[in-house]
Amino acid sequence: MSIESNDCDWNDAEQRVERAQELFEQCRWQEALDELRAATSINPYNSSWHYNIGLTLDQLGRHEEAIQAYQQALSIEPNDLQALHRLAVDLHEVGRFHDAIAAFERIEQLDSSFEPAYCGRILSYAELGQHQRAEEMFYLARLYREDCPDCYYNIGVSLAARKQYDRAIYCWQRALDLDEQHPEAHLRIAEALWNKGELEKARQHYIEGLRQEPGNTATLLDLAELLWEMGRVEEAGEKIRSAVELAPDDPAGHCLLGRWLLDHGRGAEAEQSLRHAIGLDPTCPGVHLQLARLFLSRRDLAEARRQLRAELLLRPNDPQTLLDLSNLLMDLGEIRPALACLKRLVQLAPDHAGGWQNLAVAHFLRGRYDEGIAASHESLRHDPNNIPAMHNLALALGRMGRYDEAIAIVRQGLTKAPKDISLQRVELRVHLLRGWQRIASLCRRLLRWQ
């Protein structure tokens, strides 16, 4: 090959990179990627071109491939801080939190004043549940940059995971003060307010989030569920339909529409929406659960069971889905799989009082009173005002002949809900059972005296 031919190839590579930059600025990501790949096929030794491939793949949402591109750039320039940073961010994005932390630590070794090396680790440590380390990173980051909106946002995620919602909201609001267009801060505040029961304030923040990103269908669906909970059912339906129109290939929208239609007694339309969701994604969470509800309402128990088994095969990890699934399984007399769901629920969410309460019920239905009583106490530990759990616990204790304990639980409940009929009935039942036990015991003694 002549020197002139080689120069021509290198010039072609440079021109392709220039063209890729123009396409990137026009948001024509795939065309930009094609030009960059063509350039690196001519000259594979330019680290910045591999870095740009990574950036373009990130825009396309292809993070695993982007990781490979950044690794290629780093094989050429091992100390490129920007490539290392993007690599760490993408490792976090794909759930490789330990690897992300290792990449951030490598940045710190190269330049301890590079603030994103600390800021990024806040979120990775939060995802791993290492919240003390997350806070350490937050304070270290502030040594190098006092007012970083991402730091406040990330530590807010850690605080919310620990249910410290007021502190989390403060941090997310601080992020917005520093950057009023900060992505997702309004949505995080909305979620926290929702968890606190401040539904109207949550709705306002969802609307602010939609103003920032009007086409975000996930936010639209979240807002729809909030409106539904607020009793604004028709508005919820409008939001769901808007989301389906914006993203007709998103199964989540069709699934929620199916739920909404099912709750409105429009079974045929609900089935059509739910079947469409399965057609788009057979693994879409919750669809088989809603179909089971539909077939149970039609008294088609065999098909309801089949749909519930299909949902179980997806190994759901959402606490509400697991709770709903276990309830339907118990309605169908499928206690063993219901127990498995509830054990998984309380493993994923150990402070879920409703999960512990239903686990107790499942144990009672299987005749496992000791396990059921233990689960009831766990439910009450997380929610001391849980009257149904007290009712179930008192019944179980009475059934086991532990009458004094049962009466103590009932009286505890009556101090919180003096007019609760179910507790009053349990108290009467336990007193009668204790009375019959005393009479029976006396009769046995009389017989022995004869």
Torsion angle of the four alpha carbons 432, 438, 442, 448, in this order, in degrees rounded to the nearest 10: 120
Tokens of 408: 């103590």
The CATH code belonging to domain 1-114 is 1.25.40.10
Q: Provide the pLDDT for residue 437.
A: 58
Structural domain spans, the chain: 1-114
pLDDT of residue 450: 38
Q: How far apart are CA 286 and CA 256, in angstroms?
A: 9
Q: pLDDT value at position 29?
A: 86
Query: Residue 8 has what pLDDT?
Result: 55
Whether the Cβ atoms of residue 202 and residue 191 lie closer than 8 Å to each other: yes
Q: 214, 230 in Cβ contact below 8 A?
A: no
pLDDT at 444: 45
With a cut of 50, which residues of the chain have pLDDT below it? 1-6, 439-450
Q: Which one, of 153, 99, 80, 162, lies nearest residue 123 by Cα?
A: 153
Measured between alpha carbons, how far is 200 from 227 in angstroms, rounded to an integer? 9
Give yes or no for a contact between 202 and 193, defined as CB atoms under 8 angstroms apart.
Answer: yes
User: What pLDDT is attached to residue 183?
Assistant: 86
Contacts of 347 (CB under 8 A, 6+ apart): none
Predicted TM-score (pTM) above 0.85: no
| Rounded-to-10 torsion of CA 261, 263, 267, 271 | 60
